[in-house]
Structure 1
Amino acid sequence: MTTFLEQLFVTGIGTDVGKTLVAAILTEALQADYWKPVQAGLTPTTDTATVRSLVTNPVSRFHPEAYRLVLPASPHAAAAAENIRIQPERFVLPRTTNNLIVEGAGGLFVPLAPGFLLVDLLAQLQLATVVVSRNYLGSINHTLLTLEALQRRGLPIRGLVFNGEVTPATEEFILEHSGVPVMPRLRPEAVTDAAMVSRYAAEFRAWGLTPGSVGPHPRPLS
Structure 2
Amino acid sequence: MTIRIVVAATGTDVGKTVFSAALTNALDGYYWKPVQAGLANETDAETVNRLTRVPESRILPERYRLNTPASPHFAAEIDGIEIDAKTLSPFGLPTPLVIETAGGLMVPLTRRLLQIDLLAQWRLPVILCASTALGTINHSLLSIEALKRRAIPILGVAFIGGENADSERTIATFGAVRRLGRLPRLDVLDADTLQSAFAQNFSVADVLDIGAVGP
Per the normalisation by structure 2, the TM-score is 0.92
Matched, 1:106 2:103: yes
Matched, 1:34 2:34: no
When the two chains are superposed, the root-mean-square deviation of aligned CA atoms in Å is 2.0
CA deviation after TM superposition for structure 1 residue 170, in Å: 1.5
Matched, 1:7 2:17: no
Inter-partner Cα distance in structure 1 for 2:58 and 2:204: 24
CA deviation after TM superposition for structure 1 residue 54, in Å: 0.8
Of stretches 53-62 and 74-83 in structure 1, the one that deviates more from structure 2 is 53-62
Number of aligned positions between the proteins: 213
Specify every segment of 5 or more residues in structure 1 that has no aligned partner in the other structure, as ranges.
none
1:89 to 86, 96, 99: 86
Matched, 1:190 2:187: yes
1:161: which partner in 2?
A: 158
CA contact (8 A) 1:32 1:59 kept: no
- Give the 5 Å matches for 1:127-142: 127-142=124-139
2:146: which partner in 1?
A: 149
Deviations 1:155-174, CA, capped at 9 Å, x for gaps = 11011011111112212211
1:216 to 207, 211, 215: 211
Of stretches 193-202 and 68-77 in structure 1, the one that deviates more from structure 2 is 193-202
CA contact (8 A) 2:181 2:202 kept: no
Q: Which has the higher helix share?
A: 2
CA deviation after TM superposition for structure 1 residue 187, in Å: 1.2
Of stretches 68-77 and 119-128 in structure 1, the one that deviates more from structure 2 is 119-128
Per the normalisation by structure 1, the TM-score is 0.89
Q: SS at 1:133's partner residue?
A: strand
Inter-partner Cα distance in structure 2 for 1:204 and 1:139: 20
Question: Quick one: percent identity of the two aligned structures?
Answer: 40
After superposing on structure 2, the runs of 4+ consecutive aligned residues of structure 1 that deviate more than 2 Å are 57-60, 135-138, 200-207, 213-218
Inter-partner Cα distance in structure 2 for 1:217 and 1:94: 24
CA deviation after TM superposition for structure 1 residue 177, in Å: 0.5
1:122: which partner in 2?
A: 119
Deviations 1:129-168, CA, capped at 9 Å, x for gaps = 0001113332211100000111111111011011111112
Q: SS at 2:109's partner residue?
A: strand
Query: Higher RCO, 1 or 2 (CA under 8 Å, sep at least 6)?
Result: 1
Inter-partner Cα distance in structure 2 for 1:59 and 1:209: 27
CA contact (8 A) 1:37 1:91 kept: yes
Deviations 1:177-211, CA, capped at 9 Å, x for gaps = 0111111211121011100221134246635158x
1:80: which partner in 2?
A: 77
Inter-partner Cα distance in structure 1 for 2:15 and 2:102: 12
Specify every segment of 5 or more residues in structure 2 that has no aligned partner in the other structure, as ranges.
none
Inter-partner Cα distance in structure 2 for 1:97 and 1:185: 28
Q: SS at 2:5's partner residue?
A: strand
Matched AA of 2:44: D
Matched AA of 1:111: P
Deviations 1:84-142, CA, capped at 9 Å, x for gaps = 11111111212421110000011110000011011011112221000011133322111
1:63: which partner in 2?
A: 60
Inter-partner Cα distance in structure 2 for 1:180 and 1:95: 27
Inter-partner Cα distance in structure 2 for 1:7 and 1:144: 24
Q: SS at 2:36's partner residue?
A: strand
Inter-partner Cα distance in structure 1 for 2:203 and 2:89: 31
- CA distance 1:159–1:214, change in 2 (3 Å): closer
